[in-house]
Structure 1
C-alpha cells in the first residue's frame, strides 16, 4: 500500500509511506531554499515521487494537513488540487463525521477557518509568513480563488465544551472518550486531484497528525501523548494541542488541552526580536527573576490574555526592580540584563507549564483507569530541550519519547501513519528507537554529487579519500573545521551529522570561530555529539541514548569548552553505527587520544534551511572560512590549500 502524505502549511513537506515504511519525507524548504516555506506545488510532488521511484498511478491514498489558519493554495489547480467530494475509494473506511453525524462535503466546507494569508500579504509586509510564501503562491492568493480554508473543526463532544482548567482535566474521567467514534473523528474524506488522477484522500486535524507521528514512531506499545505548538486558544478547541492515549494501532485523542505555552513562548520571542530557538539559548545567560506561578496553567486557568499579559508582567516587574529597559529587544545588546532575565523567566514559565500539563495528563488517565509508564511529546513546543529534560527527570512517566520531526514538517508523516494504522486498522510492528528514523531525506541530492564536482572542478581541489573517516578525524584533530554532506538528509530542524558542520570541542575559540563561519550571533551555543555508551563519561542529567538532540545534559568535564554553555548544559546527540560515517569519525578521533565528543551544528548560513544540494555545499566552502567540505568520500578544499 502506498500513502502520499501532504502537509501544506509552513514547514511544508511530502511523505511517501509504503506499508509500514516511510520511504521519504521531502522537506520543501530544503529544495526551495526558503526557510519554513508554506505550500506544495505540483513540481514538488513530482520530484518527491521520482526520488523513490513511485508513479502517481501507484498511490492508493493521500492524506492532507495544514498549519492552523493557513490556507491550502493551488497555483496549478489542473495538476494539484483538493476537491471537497467523496470518492468510491472511501467506501468501507470508517469516518465518524460521515458515518455517525452524516456530515456532507457541503457542510464540512462550512467548518473551514478563515485564513489570514491574503490579509498578511496586503497589510503586513513584515510578517514572517510573507517570507515563507513562494511568489507563485502569493500570486494565487491575491489573484485567484484556487484555495481552500484551513480545517480544524472535526468531531464535537459535549465534555469538551466545558471550560476545563488543567486542574479540572486532572480530576476528570475521560474513559468514555476511549471509543471508535473519537479515534475516527479527526479526519474527513476528500478527493485529491493529481495530474488528472483522482485519489481517495483524507483531511486530518493538525494536532491529530502531531500525536500520530509521536506515538506511531515511538517504540512503545502504549503511551500517553501530548501535543502543543504556538497556536492560539481560548474557546477554540483543537488549535493548541491534545492529550491523547495510544495503544497498539489505536489512537484516542481524549481531550483538547487548551495550553497557552506555545503561544506565550512565541510572543515572548517576538517581543525580544528572536526566534524561539534563540530565546531558549539566551535563557541560560539570565535568571528567572520575573517568573510568577500565576501564569502556570492553560487558557482556562487565566482571566486574561496569557501571552501579552506575560510580557506586560515581566516589563512591569523589571521596572519595579530597577532594570534599564532601554535595550529590551535590541539584538545588538541582547546580553543586557533585561533581555537575558526576560528569556530565563519565560523559559522557566514554559517548563513549569509543561510539567504541570504532563502531571494533569497522567492524573486524568489514572482517573480514566488507564495506566502507562510511557509518554510521547510532539508539536513545536517539544523542541524545547530544557523542558523535555525536566519532563524526563521530574514527571510521573518512566520513559519519554520525542521524535525528530516534531515541528509541522512531521505532519505529513503523522497523517500517513494515522491513516495506515488507526483508520485502516493495519497491524503495527513495534520498532526499536534508532537514529535511522531521522534520515528520511531523498537520495537525489547524493546522486547529483558527480555533477556538482564536474561543475566546480576548476574552482576547488577535489580529493577522493581512501579512508574518509580517518581523513576527517585527522582534520578535526588538527583543529580544522569541516562540513559533512553524506547520505540522506535529516528530517526536522536539527542537524544530525548528515548535513553538519563539525569541529574540535577542546578548543574554546571554536565557539566564536564556528559562529563566525556561519555568520551567527557570537553568544549562541553549540551541541556535542558523543559515542553511544560513553555519554556518562562526559554528561549527566538526561536520558541516554539521546539520538535527536532534543534533551539537555549537564557537562562533567572542563575539557570540551566549545560546547559547554554558560550554565554547563548542552543538547547532546548520541552516535552509533546507524548514524553513518560520523560514527567511524568519532571512533577514529577517539583513537587519536581525544574524548569521544565533537562539536556539531547545522550545515547552513544565516536564515537558510539546512543545505540539501551539493552545489550549495561547495558554494558555502568558497564563501566562508570553513576548511573543507566532504561530499561522501570526496574532500573539497579551496585552491591553494
Structure 2
C-alpha cells in the first residue's frame, strides 16, 4: 500500500504596524514567532526585515516554498506618528522586499509566488487571538485600541461580528493624547500614564461621566484643577498626575459600561458569561480588573500579546479554525507565554567571547537556582535568562530582572540604577499561584494583565502608591525553573513572591540573546546574571 504524504499547512502571518512581529502556524500550532524590536533594538519597530523572515523560517525548519498561505496584517494602517518621531523615518525602508498583485491574493517574495490575504479586519485579529487561545467554548470578545474597537462572538471554532456602537467619546483616543502630552509619545507613554495615575488621587472629575464632557479640551481644562493639579517630578519634568488619574478613571468607567452591554449581548446570543479582551487597550491591567470585577461576567481571558504584536497569531488562528473549519486546539499557558527559540546552545559561546575577558566572572554550577534564591534574599539584583523569550511586552520569567520585595528601598534602586526610568513607576510581583489569593485576593493571573490589592505589609517594593500590584501568578507546569526559584526564596524568607520586571533598560527592547543579556549586566548595577547552570557577575 502506498503511504499518503499529507503536507503540513503552514501559515506565515506578519504584522506591519508598530510592534512588528510574525508567526508561522503549522497545522494550528506555533512553530515560529518573533517580535522585530527584540532583534533590531528599535522599540515598536513596525513590520519585519529580511533577516527576521529568514530567522523565522529557520525557527520552524522551513523554506519559503513550504509556506501554504501568507497573511499580511495592518499593512496600510500605521496608526501613529510616533515611529517617525522616534527614529526619523517610518522604518518601512527596512522591510523585506515583496509585491502584492491587484486582486490581493498573490504575493511575490524572492521570485516566489505565494497565495495571500491582505488586511483582515484589525479587531477580528485581536479578538481571534484572545478567543482561540481561551479555555472557553463560547465567549464575547472585545478589542479596543486607538484605531477603534470591535465586538465578536466566539462559539466553538467560529467568530461572528456583532454590531455595537460606543455612543460617546472614545477613551482610547483620549488616553493616547494624554500619553503624548505627558511623555511625548502615545504608543510608549500609555503604560506610564497607568503608573502615574494613582499619584493624582482623587483627581478632579467632579463626578462627571465621559458623555458629559463636550470635548477633550473641556476634559484637559478640568484636569488642570484650577491651576493646581497634583504634579510629580520625573527626570527633571513636572508631570500632571491629576490628568493621568482622570483619564484612567474615565477608561475604567467606559470599559465598565461596555462590559455591562457585552453581558447583555452574551445573554441574548446564548453565550456563556465569558469575556475575552484584546487590543492595546487591554494592556491597561487596572481597567481590566476593575471592569471585570464589577461586571456579571464569570470568567475572563487575555493573551499576553494583546497589542499589535499578537495580531499575526490571531490572523493565522482565525484562518485555520474559522476559515478552514478545523476543530479547536487546547493551548497551554506556556504555548501562549514563550516563543519557541531557545539559546541554551549559544550560552557558553557567548560567555567565552574575547570582548568579555577580564570583565565577567563565570561560575558553572548545577545548584544555580538555590544560590540565586539566596542572592535574592540578600538583596542582590538578579537578571534571569532561560529558554525562549516572552511573547508580548511583559516579562514572565524567561527574560526578567528579579529582586527582593521586602526591601523598602528596592523600587528606587531598580528605577534609578538598573532600569534608568522614572521614579514613580511601580514593579510587579511574580507569586506562586497557590499563595496568590492570600497575598493579593486573586489567583490565576499568569500573564501580568490584572491588577489587584496588596493584602500584606511585608512586601513594600511591589506595592504601588495606591496599595495595588499587577501580579503574575506562577505555576510549576508553566515554568518549572522559575517556580522552583520562587519556592526556594519562599523557603528562605517566608515570602512566596519576588519582584519581576522586564530584562531591559529604559528605551531598549527586552533582551533576546545571551549577548544582549551580558551587555545589560555590564551596563547596569545588576549583581548577577543567571543562565541555566551558570552564575555570571562582573569583575570589580
- Same topology, TM > 0.5: yes
Alpha-carbon distance in structure 2 between the residues aligned to 1:68 and 1:364: 31
Alignment partner of 1:499 is 2:399: yes
Q: Tell me by how many angstroms 1:256 deviates.
A: 5.1
Give 1:332 deviation, angstroms.
2.9
Partner of 1:269: 179
Matched, 1:463 2:363: yes
What is the rounded CA distance, in whole Å, between the counterparts of 1:213 and 1:487 in structure 2?
23
User: SS of the counterpart of 1:615?
Assistant: helix
| Residues in 2 aligned to 1:53 and 1:46: alpha-carbon distance in whole angstroms | 10
- In 2, the alpha carbon distance for the partners of 1:510 and 1:351 equals 30
In 1, distance between residues paired with 2:234 and 2:428? 26
C-alpha distance 216-257 of structure 1, shift in aligned 2 (>3 A): farther
Give the corresponding residue for 1:283: 197
SS in 1 for 2:339: coil
Q: Residue 222 in 1 paired to residue 138 in 2?
A: yes
1:612 and 2:512 are equivalent in the alignment: yes
CA gap of 1:328–1:633, structure 2 versus 1, over 3 A, is closer
User: For residues 354 and 129 of structure 1, what CA distance do their matches in structure 2 show?
Assistant: 31
Q: Residues of 2 paired with 1:380 and 1:67: CA distance?
A: 17
- With normalisation by structure 2, the TM-score equals 0.90
Q: Distance in 2 between matches of 1:295 and 1:331?
A: 33
Contact 2:451 2:468 in 1 (8 A): yes
Matched residue SS, 2:263: helix
* Cα shift at 1:518: 1.0
- State the 1:253 CA deviation: 1.4
Contact 1:441 1:490 in 2 (8 A): no
User: CA 1:206–1:476 in structure 2 vs 1: closer, same or farther (change >3 Å)?
Assistant: same
Which residue of 447, 457, 471 maps to 1:572? 471
Note if contact 1:210-1:414 (Cα within 8 Å) is conserved in structure 2: yes
Correspondence 1:449 to 2:364? no
CA distance in 2, matches of 1:390, 1:25: 32
Q: Is residue 160 of structure 2 the alignment partner of residue 246 of structure 1?
A: no
CA–CA separation in structure 1 for the residues paired with 2:278 and 2:126:
6
Cα displacement (A) at 1:536? 1.8
The CA deviation string for residues 492-512 of structure 1, in whole angstroms up to 9 with x for no partner, is 111111001000000111111
Match of 1:200 in 2: 115
Distance 2:518 2:192 in 1: 27
Q: Deviations over 1:295-322 (max 9, x none)?
A: 536xxx98x6xxxx33x22342255x53
9-18 vs 573-582, which moves further: 573-582
Aligned to 2:183, the other structure's residue is in SS state coil
- In the alignment, structure 1 residue 424 sits paired with structure 2 residue 324: yes
Return closer, same or farther for 1:208/1:51 CA change in 2, 3 Å cut-off. Answer: same
- How does 1:58-137 map onto structure 2 within 5 Å? 58-66=66-74, 69-70=77-78, 127-131=82-86, 137=92
Deviation at 1:580, TM superposition (A): 3.7
Q: Please give the per-residue CA displacement for 1:185-225, whole angstroms capped at 9, x wherever unaligned.
A: xxx85212232221111121211111110100111111000
Shift in alpha-carbon separation, 1:328–1:520, aligned structure 2, 3 A: closer
CA distance in 2, matches of 1:59, 1:292: 57
Could you say what secondary structure the match of 2:236 adopts? helix
Q: 1:323 aligns with which of 223, 227, 243?
A: 227
Q: Which residue of 2 aligns with 1:385?
A: 285
Structure 1 residues 621 and 437: alpha-carbon distance in aligned structure 2, compared to 1, 3 A threshold: same
* Aligned residue-pair number: 521
Q: Could you tell me which runs of 5 or more consecutive residues in structure 1 were left unpaired when the two chains were aligned.
A: 71-115, 121-126, 152-187, 232-239
Cα distance in 1, alignment partners of residues 106 and 365 from structure 2? 50
Change (3 A) 1:483 1:67: farther
Q: Could you say what secondary structure the match of 1:391 adopts? A: helix
Show the 5 A alignment for 1:22-33: 22-33=30-41
Q: CA deviation at 1:593?
A: 3.2
Per-residue CA distance 1:95-115 (angstroms, 9 max, x = gap): xxxxxxxxxxxxxxxxxxxxx
For residues 14-73 of structure 1, the C-alpha deviation after alignment (integer angstroms, 9 at most, x for no partner) is 101111211222101100011000122222111111122122122111212016632xxx
State the SS of the aligned residue for 2:352: helix
Structure 1 residues 328 and 546: alpha-carbon distance in aligned structure 2, compared to 1, 3 A threshold: closer
Distance 1:591-1:140 versus aligned 2 partners, 3 A rule: closer
Cα pair 2:100 2:107 within 8 Å, conserved: no
Q: Does the CA-based 8 Å contact 1:26-1:441 persist in structure 2? A: no
Aligned partners of 1:328, 1:473: CA distance in 2, in Å? 35
Task: Check the 8 A contact 2:230/2:241 in 1, yes or no.
Answer: no
TM-score by length of 1: 0.76
- In the alignment, the residues of structure 1 paired with residue 199 and residue 318 of structure 2 have an alpha-carbon distance, to the nearest angstrom, of 41
State the alpha-carbon separation in 2 of the partners of residues 527 and 136 from structure 1.
Answer: 32
Alpha-carbon contact 1:38-1:133 (below 8 Å) kept: no
Alpha-carbon distance, 1:262 to partner = 1.4
Q: Is the 8 A contact 2:49 2:95 kept in 1?
A: no
Deviation at 1:457, TM superposition (A): 3.9
TM superposition shift of 1:606? 1.1
Distance 1:622 1:468 in 2: 20
**Partner residue, 2:387:** 487
